[in-house]
């Protein structure tokens, strides 16, 4: 029996000393304690409550609703016994000032860009919801079109200069 207990004790010690990738050996036990502490608190039965509270209103980055969600999460982390704080960062976030989507050819069409309200979905009619928009590709697309048009003009100008040079060579010779 003593041999069995000794083996069990040795196995427990080895398991406790199993390496954790990304942490030096001096921090393994502290990291294990922290992980056990963190996994003990968020109760699966409360996940729906957490999610519903955080998703109650639209909370795009930088909005007061986003700050409220961050404060709520901070309160939860502290309730779980974690040493948590909020860090503030400045970020460049594009928000639409106007939105249009229009096809000019072969048939002229202008999209309304308004989603219909979905029955039973209170979020689809929420006036605080940020409208749909494409944040980053419009400038890139415009640049690509301008580059293509500039190249076309350069090619046309080059062809005209060559034609003019040929015409002058014929009339002089």
pLDDT exceeds cutoff 60 at 143: no
Of the listed ranges 48-52, 91-95, 119-123, the one predicted with least confidence: 91-95
Average pLDDT of the segment spanning 26-47: 82
Average pLDDT of the segment spanning 26-53: 84
Report yes or no on whether pTM surpasses 0.85: no
| Burial of 77 per CB tally in 10 Å (0-12, 13-18, 19+) | middle
- List CB contacts of 71: < 8 A, sequence separation 6 or more: 86
pLDDT exceeds cutoff 60 at 119: yes
Number of other residues whose CB lies within 10 A of the CB of residue 96: 13
Q: CA 50 to CA 33: how far, in whole Å?
A: 24
């Amino acid at each position: 029996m003593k041999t069995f207990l000794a083996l069990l004790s040795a196995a427990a010690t080895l398991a406790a000393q199993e390496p954790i990738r990304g942490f030096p050996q001096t921090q393994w036990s502290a990291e294990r304690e922290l992980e056990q502490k963190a996994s003990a608190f968020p109760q699966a039965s409360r996940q729906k409550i957490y999610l519903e509270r955080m998703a109650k209103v639209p909370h795009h980055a930088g909005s007061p609703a986003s700050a409220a969600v961050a404060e709520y999460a901070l309160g939860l982390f502290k309730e779980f016994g974690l040493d948590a704080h909020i860090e503030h960062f400045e970020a460049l976030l594009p928000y639409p000032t106007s939105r249009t989507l229009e096809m000019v050819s072969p048939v002229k069409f202008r999209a309304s860009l308004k989603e219909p309200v979905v029955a039973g979905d209170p979020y689809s009619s929420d006036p605080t919801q940020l409208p749909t928009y494409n944040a980053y590709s419009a400038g890139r697309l415009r640049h690509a079109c301008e580059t293509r048009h500039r190249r076309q003009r350069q090619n046309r100008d080059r062809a005209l200069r060559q034609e003019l040079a040929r015409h002058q060579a014929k009339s002089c010779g």
